[in-house]
Amino acid sequence: MTGRVAVLGSANLDLVVDVDRHPGPGETVLGGDLRRNPGGKGANQAVAAARAGGATTAFVGALGRDDAAEILLGSLRGAGVATEAVSRVDAPTGTALITVTPDGENSIVVAAGANARVTLTPAGAAAVTGADVVLTQLEIPLAAVLAAAAARRPGCLLVLNAAPSRPLPDELWAAVDVLVVNEHEAVDLGPGGDDLDAAVQHLLEKVPTVVVTTGALGALVAGRGAPVVRVPSIDVDPVDSTGAGDTFCGVLAARLADGVEVVAAVRAAVVAGALAVTRQGAQSGVPTAAEVLAALGRLA
């Protein structure tokens, strides 16, 4: 059976420009042609859970009443994501302004728009209560995240991608089963200083499992009372890193929903994230489940 994932989060139209280098303060740089790609952490993760992870996936979020919303809905539905829990609100659809350098590194500014109006509607609550894993992030109001955490049925895992990092209430910490952060976010949420190991141990006092993505190096998995496991990535030629972390999160949630243990789920997520950086676009770059399985097979 395929696991069920509900992704509560943001959806943005990404406005992407290739540049030789990111501009500094007060500087203008010339770039390439503008690309309009569907994006947003929540929508990206939902596409990845459905396409690369193969899980039955529902997206819970908010869009405006504009053409950007239609682009996003088309991408979600094209990946097999259920969109019945997407609200339409009187605000512009979220927009991300992204510059990408030749080595695939990106710089992003987000205008929240409709994402600032995400709430857990009755349709959203139904998606959450029917899920095996609820995956969410921090680009939407914290009240919606807390509502989803409270609406889960017993046995449903809450996976929090704490991005962008910010102080979190004890109520949310107590609800999280798996925390996913990158190295910078881990340190931001840690006890102070820039010691990643100390930050991970601090976070394990708050949640049972911490997963830290480490870019091209892969990821590390830490659980209470267990040694830290480092999961290496695969070698790829990067084209665009936009959405790679979201691909990781979506596949992790999908594999956990299928009952896969966390280290094996992270291994699949690392491979999927690596494949994603070889293509342009946050959602168009997401690999298929077959491609992820094939890459995992080459590692065996």
Catalytically active residues are 246
d(C-alpha 160, C-alpha 189), whole Å: 13
Yes or no: say if 94 and 112 are a contact pair by the CB < 8 Å rule.
yes
d(C-alpha 241, C-alpha 227), whole Å: 29
Burial class (CB in 10 A: 0-12, 13-18, 19+), 180: buried
Cβ-based neighbour number of residue 174 at 10 Å:
10
- Report the chain's terminal Cα–Cα distance, integer Å: 24
Yes or no: say if 203 and 190 are a contact pair by the CB < 8 Å rule.
yes
Which amino acid, one-letter code, is at 147?
A: A
By C-alpha distance, which of 159, 86, 149, 69 is closest to 121? Answer: 86
Tokens of 288: 């298929």
**If residue 273 lies in a helix (H) or strand (E), which one and from where to where?**
helix 262-276
Q: What angle do CA 271, 277, 279 make, to 5 degrees?
A: 120
By C-alpha distance, which of 12, 3, 87 is closest to 50? Answer: 3
